[in-house]
Chain A
Amino acid sequence: MHLGLVMVLGVVAALVPVMAGAADIGRIKVVKGDVRVQRAAAAMPAAVGTRLQQGDVVVTGRDGAVGITLNDDSLLSAGPDSMLALDHFAFDSTTHAGRLETTLRRGTLAAVSGKIARQTPGAMQVRTPWTILGVRGTELAVRSLPAGP
């Protein structure tokens, strides 16, 4: 996994050093309140139009909410106090084959599956720290919260 990611990043870096947009997997379409994107060690405030990359973690504050459209037309949105990691995204726009893995580390998530899940049922996976969801279609909601003892 790690090695694969490093290799993919290496290939991307080698082939398209000037095409900064090449790794875009989707965009932020809706921003309410405090929303940030963590990429590597940096955190930047999110805005409508922010381009997302594989590995980004989208974080909302107490009053925050965010809506994301991925390149396969999947929709993801998170409510307040949420942390959503875009772990893996691969999509072939000709064959519609691909894979989407995202983890709701905490908070609430609504999702509408797109072309990846339509082409390959189960190829869209939503995780929480405790569960794994295989998505065959199409609309779902997930909450994952640390609970009191």
Chain B
Amino acid sequence: MRRPLLVLLALAAAATGCAPAARPVVAPAPSPARDDLVVLLPARDGTAGALTVTHEGRQLTLDQPHATASVTQQGRLDAGRTTAEEVRRTFGPALDALPSRPVTFLLYFMGNSDELTPESKGEIVKLFAEIAGRSDPEVVVVGHTDRQGTLEYNDALSRRRAERVRTDLIGRGIAADKIQVAGRGEREPLVPTEDEVVEPRNRRVEITVR
């Protein structure tokens, strides 16, 4: 550890003509020099989100679209700003390879039933189209109930609703091993209610396609 550092310092001294004592000694980097750049991108929904970037105890928070942090020499962390065009030039191939965004569908059911509401029978057609448009689709189906009935009854009902959607998906030619199914009963109401309250908006199956 000592000797390479001394050699480096000697080289630095030879190259610059400076006395080695003027240079602070720092731990050796994993590689001699790097070119690190971090960009916070604007999200699809228009929000920017936020990032913290840490380098050797220094920290920057990026919370504006196209804010950057760069490290080009050890011990320095510089804030900056970039543009959509610049991002495109640097990250084009990576951005083009991002997988399709996961999409979530909500299907609603008739009370105490695994029968879809008439509106949701239309929505399920959009779900099938979304799955068909993807190269390697995975489908996660999670059933829910309102709070009428016992926990046990609702666990079973939520599961039955999810299974019903699964059966429909398989009927449309989607491979069974691409579909995960779960029932959460009345635990995760979309609209919070007291127990034993009938709430059609909680009688749903959430389907994520990714």
B88 shortest CB reach to chain A, Å: 10
Note all chain B residues with C-beta closer than 8 A to A66: 97
A53 shortest CB reach to chain B, Å: 16
A30 contacts B43, C-beta separation under 8 Å = no
A108 contacts B90, C-beta separation under 8 Å = yes
Note all chain B residues with C-beta closer than 8 A to A78: 94, 97
The digit string for A34-49, where 1 denotes a CB below 8 A from any CB of B, is 0000000000000011
Count residues on chain B whose CB falls below 8 Å from chain A CBs: 50
B55 contacts A131, C-beta separation under 8 Å = yes
Note all chain B residues with C-beta closer than 8 A to A149: 32-33
A116 contacts chain B at the CB level, 8 A cutoff: no
Note all chain A residues with C-beta closer than 8 A to B9: none
Note all chain A residues with C-beta closer than 8 A to B37: 142-144
A32 contacts chain B at the CB level, 8 A cutoff: yes
Note all chain B residues with C-beta closer than 8 A to A109: 94
State A131–B38 Cα separation when bound (angstroms): 9
A145 contacts B35, C-beta separation under 8 Å = yes
A99 contacts chain B at the CB level, 8 A cutoff: no
Kindly report which residue of chain A lies nearest to residue B90, judged by CB atoms.
Answer: A143
Interface centre among B31, B97, B208 (most CB of A within 10 A): B97
B90 contacts A137, C-beta separation under 8 Å = no
State A114–B210 Cα separation when bound (angstroms): 12
Note all chain B residues with C-beta closer than 8 A to A121: 50
State A114–B140 Cα separation when bound (angstroms): 15
Of the listed stretches B19-27, B99-107, B111-119, B145-153, name the one at the interface; the rest are far from the partner chain.
B99-107
A129 contacts B54, C-beta separation under 8 Å = no
Note all chain B residues with C-beta closer than 8 A to A4: none
B94 contacts A108, C-beta separation under 8 Å = yes
State A123–B135 Cα separation when bound (angstroms): 29
A135 contacts chain B at the CB level, 8 A cutoff: yes
B95 contacts A77, C-beta separation under 8 Å = yes
The digit string for A63-91, where 1 denotes a CB below 8 A from any CB of B, is 00111110001010111101000000000
A20 contacts chain B at the CB level, 8 A cutoff: no
A112 contacts chain B at the CB level, 8 A cutoff: yes
State A69–B36 Cα separation when bound (angstroms): 24
Note all chain A residues with C-beta closer than 8 A to B97: 30, 32, 65-67, 77-79, 110
State A135–B30 Cα separation when bound (angstroms): 23
B49 contacts A138, C-beta separation under 8 Å = yes
Note all chain B residues with C-beta closer than 8 A to A82: 94
A148 contacts chain B at the CB level, 8 A cutoff: yes
A133 contacts chain B at the CB level, 8 A cutoff: yes
Beyond A114-B102, A131-B53, A140-B51, 12 additional contacts (C-beta under 8 Å) are: A77-B94, A78-B94, A108-B94, A129-B29, A134-B54, A135-B51, A137-B43, A139-B43, A140-B41, A141-B90, A143-B90, A145-B35
27 contacts between A and B (CB under 8 A): A28-B136, A30-B135, A32-B97, A48-B135, A65-B94, A69-B99, A73-B102, A75-B101, A77-B94, A79-B91, A79-B93, A110-B94, A113-B49, A114-B102, A128-B36, A131-B71, A131-B77, A133-B51, A134-B52, A135-B51, A136-B51, A137-B47, A138-B49, A139-B44, A140-B41, A141-B87, A146-B32
